[in-house]
Chains A and B, each alone.
Chain A
């Protein structure tokens, strides 16, 4: 009996991510959810600019590559064109919380019936490890070589907390993928975010605390520990907003 195998929606190609980068785990979880909901044939995924720019090669559903930060606007267009399609974006922290902040907030404000998978690893990975909008205070990066100085360049943005104040946002949850238990919880959250869309419940965003061993300068194993030690204390896991239960009661 097969206990575990590659989901169909995940393409059978090598991922370009660095060894131990947890992007791959999140890709797999999204693909598992697409399989379990039986929606691969009507799902359109939208890839960002950043490390996951080539996500369009990694999912077997139709895919679109968007400009940096614009994935929620592209998703809006796709969903408005064909509301029966299931539309998700997969974006990193630079893409979603810096250059694409307006698109993020306004797609939430409009309560677009889409699913956003937001990878927060507190760094720009693809360009070689620069400070991200979510880099931690004091975090050393290529462009904050003396540590992120909050007097000089401000504070990290907590996306789930911020969006919880936006009326249009329906489901917001922060999860992590640094151990088996967290991965299982992340899967549940991602499944709910897609299920919400299938049921027409509106805007769902799952923030996934992910790793960047290469640019954090840590081994893959140490990077998982760093998530527990540094990331989760600043970015607490949990459900930040859930209007979907309320909708069911109505």
Chain B
């Protein structure tokens, strides 16, 4: 069972993680705004996550922890 943890406050909403995810697990939360004023990333399809960590690999702000 994969688990993703986001430091949501540090997310800048660049979307590189969303684009790189092979399973379309992630999205930028259109209805949320974090303290920095960005739409932060959130997981909408965790069941499909394979914990490949591509999202974390491409995250420039190191906000994602991946567990399996």
Contact = CB atoms under 8 A, between A and B. Distances in A.
A23 interface: yes
A20 interface: yes
A96 to B, nearest CB: 21
B55 to A, nearest CB: 9
Interface residues of B, number: 26
B64 interface: yes
Nearest to A210: B60
A1 B1 CA distance: 10
Contact of B67 (A2, A15, A23, A27): A2
| Interface SS of A by simple majority | mixed
Given A220-B14, A220-B15, A221-B19, A23 B64 contact: no
Contacts of A14: 9-10, 36, 61
Interface in A198-243: 213, 219-221, 224
A20 B16 contact: yes
Interface in A1-31: 1-6, 10, 14-15, 17-25, 27-28
Interface string A163-186: 000000000000000011001100
Contact of A4 (B12, B36, B60, B64): B64
B7 to A, nearest CB: 8
Given A3-B67, A19-B38, A28 B16 contact: no
Given A19-B12, A19-B13, A6 B66 contact: no
Interface string B23-64: 000000000000010100000000000010110111111101
A2 B56 CA distance: 12
A67 to B, nearest CB: 27
> Most chain-B Cβ atoms within 10 A of its Cβ — which of A14, A221, A224?
A14
Interface string A112-150: 000000000000000000000000000000000000000
Interface of A: 1-6, 10, 14-15, 17-25, 27-28, 179-180, 183-184, 213, 219-221, 224
Please provide the 4 A-B residue pairs with the shortest distance between their CB atoms, ordered closest to farther. A24-B60, A20-B14, A19-B12, A19-B14
